[in-house]
A = this chain, B = another copy of it.
């Protein structure tokens, strides 16, 4: 039976790392919801970068850049990480450089795993179906907020854990998976009401950015699974021929 583990903070990921596992990166408000939206709306690839300096450098090289810290858009960036920014007219066929407070750090930590994929409520069922087809253990890595536990990421981890266990292909003996599943069972009957409690929501409201909550908790708007291939995120369906795809489409600088 395959195992599921949930890691509540990037600061604890060293205790979960397994080079043979698939890692699902979660940052519901808002990085992974925005990344799923970007691919849904036709983005070709996303370059996650940890440091703002690096994002700025790539902006100067002509890339479209989404970058923010603490919910505030970086002054040199084209936009921040609200999913609403990733409109087809702006991003279709484009490569986007993406840097956020928490999400890109988690991607970076997990990159030596078997596969790194992006999870959100927007693609949860597609993700569950794909994870079932792969013969690997799964680690769900919650991005949290500056290493702190995040309620919305943990609830998503619980929802995905529940789906995977219900499939009959997975089990868990991990305390944090069990906790995440219980939190999901508390939240599920009134998901939006529940998330009002989250500290993250207060932060978002303070920055006038809380308009995306309902959207970010909508399930199954897309079948796309963003996957890390070398240093880029692409749509999983292009992953098998990653090198050809990149050579044909984009000359990396």
Contact = CB atoms under 8 A, between A and B. Distances in A.
Contact of A186 (B146, B174, B185, B199): B185
Contact of A179 (B14, B16, B183): B183
A178 interface: yes
B148 A173 contact: no
Contacts of A179: 149, 151, 154, 179, 183
A175 B198 contact: yes
A202 interface: yes
Number of copies: 2
A179 B183 CA distance: 7
B173 A202 contact: yes
| Range class of the A interface residue count | 20 to 34
Chain A binding surface, main DSSP class: helix
A148 B200 contact: no
Interface of A: 8-9, 11-12, 14-16, 145-151, 154, 173-176, 178-179, 182-183, 185-186, 197-200, 202
16 contacts: A11-B11, A12-B147, A12-B149, A15-B147, A15-B148, A149-B175, A149-B179, A151-B175, A151-B178, A174-B199, A175-B198, A178-B198, A179-B179, A182-B182, A182-B186, A183-B183
